[in-house]
Chains A and B, each alone.
Chain A
Amino acid sequence: MFGNTLTRGLCATARLPLPLGEGMRVRVVRFGMWILTLCFIAFIPQAEATPKIQHWSLANGARVYFVETHELPMLQIQAVFDAGSSRDPADKAGVARLATALFDEGTGELTTDDIASRFEGLGAEFGASADRDMAMVHLRSLSDSALLDPALDLYARILAAPSFPQASLDRIRAQTLIGLQKDMQSPGAIADKTFYRELYGNHPYARDTAGDEASLKTITREDLINYHKRYYVGANAWLVIVGDVSRRQAKRIAERLVGQLPAGQAATPMPLPTSPSTARVQRVNFPATQNHILIGQPGIQRGDADYFPLFVGNYILGGGGLVSRLAVEVREKKGLSYSVYSYFLPLRVPGPFMLGLQTKNTQSEQALKLAREVLADFVAKGPTAAELEAAKKYITGSFPLRLDSNAKIAENLAVIAFYGLPLTYLDDFIGHVQAVNIEQIRDAFKRRIHPDTMLTVIVGGQR
């Protein structure tokens, strides 16, 4: 029923421990599971619990990552392509998302209805989506071959030759436009879009992943076909397989799903974003009871040399749920906001460092001032020894929780694969965290985080 479950905290980088029925709510809240995956790569300290990653490459250049687990009779497939929305042609924002949304709309002679009733008649779940960096095509099926084989067959056909029917393009474009309209009635969504647009300027990360009204209207079926042809190729593909199959089966599955794609070419390197040189405040008036405040700058990329000091430091600043400095100062001590957080979103090139909160209109200035003070103080002085100790205990102690299901293992493998992190990344992670000291955090924050030249977005007003 409606509004039937409230959680105590929805903290961006901490966790969204969502009970029954909160699933979709995660997407309403801008900080969905993706950020969790992207911010924290998981691993397990006990040797026996670390998933054994098997890795090989196919003739067309596609790279395969496989974890064999037989506890449950199911299989999880995640194909990842360097085909996220940052690859949208400059005047065609929205192509990447539309392409993924149209995958299950047709292949060969099969219609949308055919595909839907085949997958669902097998109990299989198919889905595809795109964020700024990655396009992902997902399948979950029972491992019983009578169900798995036809599901894999259909998946392979879709991936190799989606038909992108014109009628489907028209319909899904119209739905996307309505989605954009709904965003315009949400102060949180407006703040998020404004933040990316203003922070990234001419960089591809500036654009909304869904595109915009003007660009969506110009996208043709030809654009989708060309996009698929260019980016859904072996040299641009990673395949993650987790579940109840043998290595031999996994090899056959990989060949069948992505081995047949043309080799093609890898996507070109993503340009680096520029950091702002002066502080700027962007206000958007909106009839709401609260102000939504976002403060930030470009942060770090995957594999960044400062990753571990910044990651551990941010846990202390605003990543550690209700025990972070921001949560204690802004929420626990002053009662100014339900949710207050900071996070790094490491992407192919520096994704944002973002600090966010929402508070009623009349106390917006007070909350903003306090959040800025907490940030500036942390950058200037770094953490205390006790804070660092507590952060390390949490990050190392909670690692088993990050890989305790096939679904989570697959999500983590996708990040390791796509960003080219070493196969030993999980095994080395605790060592890297343990090695971080106060001076490194202070040094990394001072060099990388600049409270005096940040972008501030404030959305809200009167109601």
Chain B
Amino acid sequence: MLYKLSGLLVLSLLFAACSQTQETTLANGLRVIVREDHRSPVVVSQIWYKVGSQDEPEGITGVSHVLEHMMFKGTPKHGPNEFSRIIAENGGRENAFTSYDYTAYFQQLEKSRLPIAFELEADRMQNLLLADEEFRKEIQVVMEERRWRTDDQPESLVQEKFMATAYQVHPYKHPVIGWMADLQAMKFKQAQDWYQRWYNPANAILVVVGDVKPSAVFAQAKQYFASVPARTLPTRSDVSEPVQKSERRVHVAAPAEVPYILLGYHTPVHTSVIQNKDAEWEPYALSVLAGVLDGGQASRFERELVRERKIAASVDVDYSAIARSPGIFAIDATPANGYAIADLEKAIRAQIERVKNEPVSAEELKRVKAQVVASNVFSRDSGFYQAMQIGQLSAVGLDWRLLEDYPKRLQAVTAEQIQAVARKYFVDSNLTVAILDPQPIDKAKRRPSTHMRGGDVR
């Protein structure tokens, strides 16, 4: 969920030095990337599958995420939930996550336990048992997750509706967790087919970061994963979103107390422009622009909209240059008391006009670039994030070596380039606006009622 991330934070997560990173590919197509970090006797292992909600056809939205849940339900060798039990007994932490572009599984362990994670991941990469009984329970868990994340959260509902409006053709229009009706209708066979189709060594990337030697990790990876049979990958449908022709607006009515607005423009990402010499710099300029607008307390939005004009209680920018398909440069905000959503929208759009009309100052650029340098160091404090950076880049089809040049590329962005991307993408016909219309939460109903219960608990 990136919606609250400031531009700065997005920057801070991007970079890690890559000098101690090595890569190999097994005969069955599995890529293995290892980065040394010897500060602590620990290791993180992540396996990334290049399949996410954007690969899902209509009617089975959410199946990638459902399959992610099912991946813990066992193989002939290991029963349901045993994966988690074994990792826990080895002092490990583990979890998994699904996004539009990928599905990933990870373990964090004391370094000598790495082969345990490899053995389990290799097993469930090829031998997953998808029993109907387990599926019927787990789909209920996923529906609870959807209620908890989205249905009972007014701002999440706005974000879901925003994506379904900004995208009309590309599957980014569907939520990662899936539409409730699709979840209700889903059959275990569909998850099984999804597994057969996408869980393949040639569609996976193994990323290991920690107190390890690449040569030793390559040997262990070979030992456990080389026997997973290679299969042919299905072809991906490559849908592109048609150019938006006019501004789109959508309102969401939900029980809420505070209004909320979300504005977003379609913008390129590295994957969409990397082959294009004339545009490959654009995502860097957009990243720095996000920092100028919302990179900390000195940024324009905080300084001018929150502190000086006091028109916003909060305002945040979200832009990520790392995705498989073109994304959104988004601004979301809550008005300060006394201001209507319309006032706030006007003020935000005036800010947008300003970055189009005048170049950002040298001081603003200098500040963002100082943050880039520091963030580059701070991000190396976490082995997990270093693995995330490598995995995310690789999973969306970029070369992780991009990381080496990343700080340099951001430092090279000029005020003219920032103005150019603002002029090119921040146009009304490319804009989608989603607004929360708060509906009363019945005060009378909400009043607490207490009744005593003596010894009848249980």
B96 within 8 A of A: yes
- The 8 A CB mask of B258-290 against A (1 = contact, 0 = none) is 100000000000000000000000000000000
In the complex, which residues of chain B have a beta carbon less than 8 angstroms from the beta carbon of A184? 257, 441
The answer to whether B81 touches A336 (Cβ under 8 A) is: no
Per-position 1/0 for A19-35, Cβ under 8 A of B: 11111110000000000
Closest to A182 in B: B258
Residues of A1-42 contacting chain B, CB below 8 A: 1-9, 14-15, 17, 19-25
Q: How far is the CB of B375 from chain A (nearest CB, A)?
A: 7
A452 touching B455, Cβ below 8 Å: yes
Which residues does chain A contribute within 8 Å of B147, judged by CB atoms? 289-290, 358, 360
A328 & B382 in contact (Cβ 8 Å cutoff): no
**Residue of B whose beta carbon sits closest to that of A48:** B41
CB <8 Å contact, A185 and B441: yes
Q: How far is the CB of A321 from chain B (nearest CB, A)?
A: 7
A395's nearest neighbour on chain B, judged by CB, is B91
Interface range, B side = 35 or more
Question: Quick check: is B137 within 8 A (CB to CB) of the other chain?
Answer: yes
Bound CA span A277–B96, Å: 42
Whether B149 pairs with A141 at a CB distance below 8 angstroms is: no
Whether B90 sits at the interface, judged by CB under 8 Å, is yes
Chain B residues within an 8 Å CB radius of A333: 137
CA distance A332 to B144 in the complex (A): 13
Q: Which of these, A46, A290, A323, A359, contacts B88 with CB under 8 Å?
A: A323
Contacts of A403 in B (CB 8 A): 40
Those of B346-385 within 8 Å (CB) of chain A: 363, 366-367, 370-375, 377-378, 380-385
Is A21 touching B2 in the complex (CB atoms < 8 A)? yes
| A9-B95, A121-B366 given; A22·B458 CB < 8 A | no
Q: Is A405 an interface residue (CB 8 A)?
A: yes
* A194/B448 contact (C-beta < 8 A), A6-B149, A7-B97, A404-B42 known: yes
A419 within 8 A of B: no
Contact in complex: B89, A280 (CB < 8 Å): no
Complex alpha-carbon distance, A115 and B297, angstroms: 9
Complex CA–CA separation, A7 to B296 (angstroms): 27
C-alpha spacing A337/B150, complex, angstroms: 15
- A3, A24, A456 — most chain B CB neighbours (10 Å): A3
Q: Report which residue of B149, B176, B457 has the largest number of chain A beta carbons within 10 angstroms of its beta carbon.
A: B457
With contact pairs A3-B176, A290-B152, A334-B137 given, residues A282 and B42 touching in the complex (Cβ less than 8 Å): no
| Nearest A residue to B322, CB-CB | A20
Q: Is A447 part of the contact surface with B, judged by Cβ < 8 Å?
A: no
Contact of B370 among A121, A321, A401, A451 (CB under 8 A): A121
Contact segment of A172-180, A223-231, A254-262, A420-428: A172-180
Looking at the assembled complex, report how far the CB atom of A432 sits from the nearest CB atom of chain B, in whole angstroms: 16
- Interface residue? B445 (CB, 8 A): yes
Interface flags for A331-343 (1: CB within 8 Å of B; 0: not) read 1111111110000
Interface residues of A in 278-320 (CB under 8 A from B): 278-290, 320
Query: Contact at A112–B69, with CB atoms within 8 Å?
Result: no
Which residues of chain A are near B10, meaning CB under 8 Å? 21
Chain A residues near B457: list those with CB within 8 A: 279, 372, 451-454, 456
Q: Within the complex, which residue of B99, B257, B363, B450 is in contact with A280, where a contact is CB–CB below 8 Å?
A: B450
A3 and B163 contact, Cβ closer than 8 Å, known pairs A120-B298, A334-B137, A337-B144: yes
Contacts of B257 in A (CB 8 A): 181-182, 184-185
C-alpha gap A10/B346 in the complex (Å):
38
How far apart are the CA atoms of A185 and B337 in the complex, in Å? 17
With the chains together, A287 CA to B336 CA distance in Å?
25
Which parts of A322-358 form the interface with B (CB within 8 Å)? 322-323, 328, 331-339, 358
A122 / chain B contacts, CB cutoff of 8 Å? 370, 374
Contact flag A2-B1 (CB < 8 Å), given A116-B296, A321-B88: yes
Which of A66-74, A92-100, A232-240 interfaces with chain B?
A66-74
Report the minimal beta-carbon distance from B190 to chain A, rounded to whole angstroms. 18
With A49-B40, A339-B148, A398-B91 given, is the CB distance from A20 to B13 under 8 Å? yes
> B311: shortest Cβ distance to chain A, in Å?
11
A376-B458, A407-B382 known; A8+B68 contact, CB < 8 A: yes
Which residues of B, 66-99, contact A by the 8 Å Cβ criterion? Answer: 68-69, 72, 80-81, 84-85, 88-99
> Bound complex: CA of A73 vs CA of B10, how far in Å?
21
B156 within 8 A of A: yes
A interface, over-half SS: mixed
B437 at the interface (CB under 8 A from A): no
Contact (Cβ within 8 A) B4 A4:
no
Contact A187–B310 (Cβ < 8 Å): no
Q: Which of B3, B150, B314, B452 has the most CB of A within 10 A?
A: B3
- For residue A123, CB closer than 8 A to chain B, the reply is yes
Q: Contact between B92 and A397 (Cβ–Cβ < 8 Å)?
A: yes
A248 at the interface (CB under 8 A from B): no
Cβ-neighbour of B4 out of A24, A140, A335, A397 (below 8 A): A24
Max count, chain B CB within 10 A of own CB: residue among A185, A359, A376: A185
Once A72-B377, A123-B371, A393-B91 are accepted as A-B contacts, the answer to whether A21 and B330 lie under 8 Å apart by CB is no
Cβ–Cβ contact A287 & B441, under 8 A: yes
Task: List chain B residues, Cβ under 8 A from A140.
Answer: 378
Closest to B364 in A: A117
Out of A14, A147, A185, A390, name the residue touching B154 (CB < 8 Å).
Answer: A185
CB of A187 within 8 A of CB of B152, answer yes
Interfacial chain A residues near B371, Cβ < 8 Å: 120, 123
Give the residue name and chain of the B residue nearest to A361 (CB): B147
Q: B200 an interface residue at 8 Å Cβ cutoff?
A: no
CB-CB nearest in chain A for B380: A72
User: Is A396 an interface position by the 8 A CB rule?
Assistant: yes
Separation of A181 and B334 alpha carbons in the complex (Å) = 12
A8 to chain B, nearest CB (A): 5
Q: Are A393 and B89 in contact (CB under 8 A)?
A: yes
User: Is B242 part of the contact surface with A, judged by Cβ < 8 Å?
Assistant: no
Q: How far is the CA of A329 from the CA of B374 in the complex (A)?
A: 46
Would A178 and B295 count as touching, CB distance under 8 A? no
Chain B residues whose C-beta falls within 8 Å of the C-beta of A358 in the assembled complex: 144, 147-148
B246 within 8 A of A: no
A343-395 at interface with B (beta carbon < 8 Å): 358-360, 369, 372-373, 376, 390, 393-395
A201: interface (CB < 8 Å): no
Q: Which residues of B contact A9 (CB under 8 A)?
A: 95
With contacts A184-B441, A185-B256 taken as known, whether A290 is within 8 angstroms of B148 at the C-beta atoms is yes
**Beta-carbon contact of A185 and B81 below 8 Å:** no
Chain B 86-127 per-residue mask, 1 if CB under 8 angstroms from chain A, else 0: 001111111111111100101011100100000000000000
Q: How many Å lie between the Cα of A119 and that of B302 in the bound state?
A: 15
Contact string against B for A residues 161-173, beta-carbon threshold 8 Å, 1 for contact and 0 otherwise: 0000000000100
Would you list 14 pairs from A and B whose C-beta atoms are within 8 A, ordered by A residue? Answer: A1-B330, A2-B2, A5-B2, A5-B99, A9-B95, A21-B5, A116-B296, A119-B297, A120-B297, A182-B257, A335-B137, A339-B148, A369-B458, A405-B39
Q: A14-B93, A280-B452 are in contact. List 13 more A-B contacts (CB 8 A).
A: A1-B2, A21-B2, A21-B10, A116-B297, A123-B374, A182-B258, A278-B452, A335-B137, A335-B144, A339-B148, A358-B148, A396-B91, A404-B383
Closest 3 CB pairs of A and B: A397-B91, A123-B374, A335-B140
Q: List residues of chain A with CB under 8 Å of any chain B CB.
A: 1-9, 14-15, 17, 19-25, 44, 46, 49, 69, 71-74, 104, 112-113, 115-117, 119-125, 140-142, 147, 171, 174-175, 177-179, 181-182, 184-187, 194, 278-290, 320-323, 328, 331-339, 358-360, 369, 372-373, 376, 390, 393-401, 403-407, 451-454, 456, 461, 463
